Chains A and B, each alone.
Chain A
Amino acid sequence: MSLFASIRTLASGLFLRHKVDREMNEELRSHIAHRADDLERSGVPRTEAERRAAVEFGGRVRFEQESKEQMGGRFVETLLADIRFGFRMLRKTPGFTSAAVITLALAIGANAVVFSVLNGLVLRTVNVPQGQRLFTIERGKDHSPQQSYPDYLDLRERNRSFDDMLAFTIAPVGLDTGGSASSAWVYEASGNYFDMLGLQPYLGRFFHGSDEHGPNSSPYIVLTYSYWRSHFQSDPSVVGRMVQVNKHPYTILGVAAPDFRGTELFFLPDFWVPIVNQEQIEGWNGLNNRGGRGMYILGQLKNGVLQAQAVADLNSVAAYLSKTYPKDDGDSTLNLARPGLMGDMLGGPVRGFLSGLTLLAGLILLAACANLGSLFAARAADRAKEIALRLALGSSRSRILRQLLTEAVIVSILGGVVGMLAAVALLRWLSAWQPVPSFPIVLPVNPDARVYAVALLLALVSGVLFGLVPVRQVLRSDPYQTVKAGANGTAGRRITFRDVMLVLQIVACAVLVTSSLVAVLGLARSVHAQFGFSPQNAMLVSTDLDMADYRGDRVPQMQKRLLDAVEDIPGVSSAGLSDRVPLALGWGTSTIFKDSTTDLRSSAAAAEAMVYNISPGYLEAAGTQLLTGRIFTSHDDAKSPRVAVVNREFARKIFGSPENAVGGYFKLSGGERIQIVGLVEDGKYMTLTEDQQPAVFFPILQSPSSATWLEVRSNRDPQQLAMALDSTIRGLDPGLPFKIITWNKEMDTALFTSRVATVSLGVLGTMGAMLAVTGIFGMASFTVSRRLRELGIRIALGAQRKEVLSAALGRTLWLMMFGSISGLLLGLAATKALALIVYQATPRDPLVLAGVVVAMFVFGLIATWIPASRALRADPMMLLREE
Chain B
Amino acid sequence: MTDQAQLLPGTLDLLILKAVSLGPLHGYGVLLRIGQISGSALLIEQGALYPALFRLVRQGLLTSSWGISENNRRAKFYELTVTGRERLNEETDGWNRLAIAMAAALRATPEEV
Contacts and interface: CB of A to CB of B under 8 A. Distances in A.
B50 A67 contact: yes
A31 B54 contact: no
Given A34-B26, A63-B50, A5 B60 contact: yes
A623 interface: no
A60 B46 CA distance: 10
Contact of A1 (B45, B46, B58): B58
A31 B28 contact: yes
A28 interface: yes
Given A23-B76, A67-B51, A69-B51, A9 B58 contact: yes
A57 B76 contact: no
Interface stretch (B67-75, B89-97, B99-107): B67-75
B47 interface: yes
Contacts of A62: 47
B59 interface: yes
Interface string A563-593: 0000000000000000000000000000000
A58 B47 CA distance: 6
A33 B57 CA distance: 23
B112 to A, nearest CB: 44
B51 A63 contact: yes
A160 B71 CA distance: 88
A1 B60 contact: yes
A462 to B, nearest CB: 35
A31 to B, nearest CB: 5
Interface string B1-45: 000000000000000000000000011110000000000000001
B48 interface: yes
B58 A34 contact: no
A33 B45 CA distance: 16
Which of B29, B47, B50, B76 is most buried by chain A, counting CB atoms within 10 A of its CB? B47
B55 A70 contact: yes
A59 interface: yes
A27 interface: yes
A68 B55 CA distance: 9
A72 interface: yes
Contacts of A64: 50
Given A30-B76, A62-B47, A63-B48, A70 B71 contact: no
Which of B28, B59, B73 is most buried by chain A, counting CB atoms within 10 A of its CB? B28
B69 A27 contact: no
A37 interface: yes
How would you classify the secondary structure of chain B's contact residues: helix, strand, loop or mixed?
Answer: mixed
Contact of B50 (A1, A6, A28, A34): A28
B59 A31 contact: no
Nearest to B83: A2
A23 B26 CA distance: 14
A35 interface: yes
A31 B46 contact: yes
Contacts of B29: 34
A26 interface: yes
A59 B74 CA distance: 22
B46 A58 contact: yes
A26 B27 CA distance: 12
A576 to B, nearest CB: 89
Interface residues of A, number: 31
Contact of A70 (B28, B58, B60, B75): B58
Given A66-B51, A69-B51, A72-B58, A30 B74 contact: yes
Interface in A2-45: 2, 5-6, 9, 23-24, 26-28, 30-31, 33-35, 37
Nearest to A27: B76
A883 interface: no
B28 A71 contact: no
Given A5-B60, A30-B76, A35 B47 contact: no
A67 B54 contact: yes
A56 interface: yes
A322 to B, nearest CB: 76
Contacts of A70: 51-52, 54-55, 58
Interface in A812-860: none
A31 B71 CA distance: 11
B60 A57 contact: no
A71 B54 contact: yes
A28 B27 CA distance: 8
A27 B75 contact: yes
Given A30-B26, A30-B74, A35 B54 contact: no
A70 B53 CA distance: 9
A56 B46 contact: yes
Interface string A429-465: 0000000000000000000000000000000000000
Interface in A653-698: none
Contacts of B51: 63, 66-67, 69-70
Nearest to B30: A31
Contacts of A67: 50-51, 53-54
Contacts of B55: 70
B62 to A, nearest CB: 11
Which of A34, A35, A69 is most buried by chain B, counting CB atoms within 10 A of its CB? A34
Contact of A30 (B47, B54, B57, B75): B75
A9 to B, nearest CB: 5
Given A30-B76, A31-B28, A2 B60 contact: yes
A72 B28 CA distance: 23
A2 B57 CA distance: 11
Nearest to B58: A9
B35 to A, nearest CB: 11
A2 B87 CA distance: 14
Contacts of A27: 27, 50, 75-76
Contacts of B76: 23, 27, 30
Contacts of B48: 58, 63
A827 to B, nearest CB: 58
A58 B48 CA distance: 8
A33 B73 contact: yes
Nearest to B75: A30
Contacts of B60: 1-2, 5
A31 B60 CA distance: 22
Given A24-B50, A35-B28, A57-B46, 13 more contacts: A1-B59, A23-B76, A27-B50, A28-B50, A30-B74, A31-B28, A34-B71, A34-B73, A35-B46, A57-B47, A68-B54, A70-B52, A72-B58
Interface of B: 26-29, 45-48, 50-55, 57-60, 69, 71, 73-76
18 contacts: A5-B59, A27-B76, A30-B27, A30-B28, A30-B73, A31-B28, A33-B71, A33-B73, A34-B26, A35-B46, A57-B46, A62-B47, A63-B47, A66-B51, A69-B51, A70-B51, A71-B57, A72-B58
Interface of A: 1-2, 5-6, 9, 23-24, 26-28, 30-31, 33-35, 37, 56-60, 62-64, 66-72
Which A-B residue pairs are the 3 nearest by beta carbons? A63-B47, A58-B47, A34-B28
